[in-house]
Amino acid sequence: MFRFASPEYFYLLALIPLFIVGYALAVRARRRRLARFGNPETLRQLMPDVSPLRVRNKFILLVVAVGLVVVALARPQFGSKLREVRRTGIELMLAVDVSNSMLAEDFEPNRLERTKFAITRLIDQLKQDQVGLIVFAGDAYVQLPITSDYATARNFVNNVSTDMVSRQGTAMGAAIELASNSFSSGSEGSRVLILISDGENHDDDPVAAAKAAAERGIKIYTIGIGTPEGAPIRLDNDFIKDEQGNIVVSKLDEATLEQVALATGGGYIRSTKQSIGLDEIIARVNENEKKDMVSKVFDDFSEQYQYPLGLAILLLLLNSGMLDRKNRILARFNVFGRNRKAGPGEA
């Protein structure tokens, strides 16, 4: 496996465009200064040893060398073998409803934003667990496969929006089936799915999907976000209306969410404005669901930085040895026969 141990150094590559702009400005300024002394073609004949091509080549060597130094600083590494890692934790898949009804404002600022905030807080509390993310509306998609990279998980959660799934609806069954196929092979006995939805507009049979998930050892906990009284849905600064022109009010539908949780021996929680319910579920999961898991990771990484660093040093040596003017000794060798005088007998 190949990786960079310190990828943050790649930000230094942003300096290269600045070098190029500075070089272009310097060349332009030099041409303007020379133009003050006379015709550029005449000056070129008066200074036959000057070589703009060499100046450009020296700059290219410098830029490539800087890029290679940055690569070396990022520490490229190769993993030479796999080893088994044992840990105590769970594989946690979060399935989040991103249908338009999640924009209802009975939770401030709306249901979806409150859900994202709660999930981010949850990720900050994880230690040896792995987490994944599924978004669903009329269809379901894996947004983030199971991972222990919590920083990446937070970024994916922050980018969740109702624009991710074009088809409207609430395909809970599809989300459960997709989650069931997303757990790793070494996580038997520690698979947990938390499904967060307002429960409206079922497009399939989520209870049947939950029963199938239970047969694979998956516990499903459901969270109902919203209020029974409901709230209008604001979309593009206007409220969604039905065909008769009435404002649509999205209400929490708890019945299906409760049945889904019951089918797997999990649990259902109704969100409140004080707590979405994730903390309560994780407390229960930590008490009952954590198991010893085995995963394989690459180990014994060998450093490879010396190769780009060595090449960078070689290019810098070439750069320092290359003169800005033409080499008079090499110029004597007319390799391509240009401007060669005619010999005896030649026309």
Report whether pLDDT(271) > 50.
Answer: yes
Whether the bond between 344 and the residue before it is cis, its omega within 30 degrees of 0, is: no
Total structural domains in the chain? Answer: 2
Residues 210 and 105 in one domain: yes
Under 8 Å between Cβ of 266 and 222 = yes
Q: Residue 55 phi/psi, 5° resolution? A: -60, -45
95 and 14 inside one domain = no
Choose the final residue of a domain: 252, 272, 297: 297
pLDDT score recorded for residue 297: 53
**More reliable by pLDDT, 12 or 235:** 12
Same domain, 156 and 292: yes
Together in a domain, 266 and 215: yes
Q: Which residue has the tokens 């091509």?
A: 53
pTM: 0.61
Distance CA 102, CA 112 (A): 5
Residues 202 and 114 in one domain: yes
- Model confidence pLDDT, tens digit, residues 209-227: 999 999 999 999 999 999 9
Instruction: Give domain status of residue 109, yes or no.
Output: yes
- Read off the CATH number of the domain in which 238 is found: 3.40.50.410
| Percent of the chain whose predicted confidence (pLDDT) is above 70 | 79
Contacts of 165 (CB under 8 A, 6+ apart): 98, 99, 135, 136, 137, 138, 139, 140, 141
**C-alpha distance from residue 53 to each of 37, 82, 206, 223, 324 (Å):** 21, 50, 69, 68, 9
Residue 339 lies in a domain: no
Of the candidate ranges 64-73, 152-161, 317-326, the one whose mean pLDDT is the lowest? 317-326
User: Does residue 293 share a domain with residue 172?
Assistant: yes
**Residues facing residue 249 across a β-bridge:** 232
Whether residue 345 lies inside any domain: the answer is no
Q: Give the tokens for residue 305.
A: 């930085």
Q: Is the pLDDT of residue 27 over 90?
A: no
| Residue 343 counted as domain residue | no
Q: Is the predicted pLDDT of residue 78 greater than 50, yes or no?
A: yes
319 pLDDT band (50/70/90 cuts)? confident
| Residues 183, 119 share a domain | yes
| Residue 18 belongs to some domain of the structure | yes
The total of other beta-carbon atoms located within 10 Å of residue 174's CB is 22
| Residues 71-78, mean pLDDT to the nearest whole number | 90
Given pLDDT bands bounded at 50, 70 and 90, which one contains residue 327? low
Residue 311 and residue 167 in one domain: no
pLDDT at 38 over 70: no
- Residue 142 tokens read as 């894996």
Query: Do 107 and 245 belong to one domain?
Result: yes
Q: For residues 211 and 323, state if they share a domain.
A: no
| Greater model confidence, 122 or 334 | 122
Task: Encode burial over 281-307: b for 16+ CB neighbours within 10 A, e otherwise.
Answer: bbebbeeebbeebebeeeeebeebbee
**Domain interval for residue 265:** 84-297
